[in-house]
Structure 1
């Protein structure tokens, strides 16, 4: 069971008094902007959440990283949120489902999801693979992402990037203190409870992964 009140405390928001659009939008924005962790547990690739409000279905998804900041209507069309444009079309891969089309600057191209209800346990095997397999991108590269009203901040390995309407700024971090400062200041991930050897070991792994990636780049 999900500890709803505990999750809301992590988000820093109160339980909405009514099931209305104002409460839903506030919860979604907090979920993509403010939560430094997922207390409910990551449950696969990917469990889409839909909500019916005033008779209209919505995609409510805070687990898409660089994607939606607020709920999207489940109907064919396009939507602009901040600097990003999204599309929703009927899925050809999942009959009766939908295909979410990401902005070209997003971290992925699209996502198809079926309309049928499913239990989180159905994603257990995929969650295990993504969490532990050496082939998983989440294992190979340390990644942090936070969606904001005006764009998105992403950290992959030693490279933080900021995507806004005017373009993308990125740099390579060379010092461990700078890297941990970015984790805390930009992404709200405070690793102050980790001792010095643990922090040093994490930084060594981040550097090694970055060097391996850089060695495979052209030029």
Structure 2
């Protein structure tokens, strides 16, 4: 299993805004998880740009250290190695995201993580870790059935109805998907997920192939840019802003998500904006037509 060098660990921690290496503990796990989610956005940018990075651990870590990010396989893959390199007991799990209106599934299109820790009574506890979906819990959740509020969302941990011994994380009704089911059996490496990444990142049928989407969340709010629309949500509701110009779009990417497209040339940024703007105008025309025909 890939283990990071001390210099890599320090650089990774600096990237997510943590000053020092500490012994593995519950408090430090929470600190790492919150920093990772707040700093590293979930995004489809490289897929949309037709330059997807592999999900090998070394490549995912290089993305993070290079000031970039990725989607679930990159984010949870890199985070699993950071945690393991810091001394945590980490397991990888097959998982499946249930989109709105679809049935629950475990199809390995999501990489799930758990961490096992000893509590004060020296009993082992299991924690659900997920830095890879953009609006998942800000803090780790115990693998104990119940309801957990982490503003602006409420999450439920329940038994999975499709995997014996598995668990399900039900998302808030106002979130971007219905829930995630997890296989309890740990997998040894990323081989199970590589064909799924190939589909997600290269197949025209992939939901991410022609969608520019970036998400993150903080302790009390979340945000996303879908095409040319910035959406922020908090306890007071959803707030949308249309980004009319490339400068506003690039500014929003940097200010709200820390995404400066560091490995993109000026010409590539222009091409990205041109495609995003064209898709946005097509969407506006289609929705206007739908309203006029209602």
Asked if these proteins are the same fold (TM beyond 0.5), I'd say: yes
The equivalent residue for 1:7 is 12
Q: Which piece of structure 1 moves more, 114-123 or 6-15?
A: 6-15
SS of the residue aligned with 1:168?
A: strand
Contact 2:36 / 2:131 at 8 angstroms: preserved in 1? yes
Deviations 1:9-46 (A, max 9, x none): 32232454222111000010011001258537626621
Tell me which stretches of 4 or more aligned residues in structure 1 moved more than 4 Å. none
Give unpaired runs (5+ residues) of structure 2.
Answer: 43-59, 63-72, 78-107, 119-123
In the alignment, is residue 214 of structure 1 matched against residue 284 of structure 2?
A: yes
Offset at 1:52? Answer: 1.4
Q: CA 1:51 to 1:193, structure 2 compared with 1: closer, same or farther past 3 Å?
A: closer
In the alignment, is residue 142 of structure 1 matched against residue 193 of structure 2?
A: no
In the alignment, is residue 45 of structure 1 matched against residue 114 of structure 2?
A: no
The equivalent residue for 2:242 is 172
In the alignment, is residue 153 of structure 1 matched against residue 223 of structure 2?
A: yes
Q: CA 1:216 to 1:135, structure 2 compared with 1: closer, same or farther past 3 Å?
A: farther
The structure whose RCO (Cα within 8 Å, separation 6+) is larger is 2
Q: CA 1:176 to 1:107, structure 2 compared with 1: closer, same or farther past 3 Å?
A: same
Contact 1:16 / 1:23 at 8 angstroms: preserved in 2? no
In the alignment, is residue 181 of structure 1 matched against residue 251 of structure 2?
A: yes
Deviations 1:58-114 (A, max 9, x none): 101111211210000111110001221000110011111101100111111110011
TM-score (norm 1): 0.92
1:102 pairs with 168, 171, 184, which one? Answer: 171
In the alignment, is residue 124 of structure 1 matched against residue 194 of structure 2?
A: yes
1:88 pairs with 148, 157, 164, which one? Answer: 157
Give unpaired runs (5+ residues) of structure 1.
Answer: none
Q: CA–CA distance in 1 between the matches of 2:20 and 2:127?
A: 20
Q: CA–CA distance in 2 between the matches of 1:78 and 1:28?
A: 19
Q: CA 1:164 to 1:205, structure 2 compared with 1: closer, same or farther past 3 Å?
A: same
SS of the residue aligned with 2:31?
A: helix
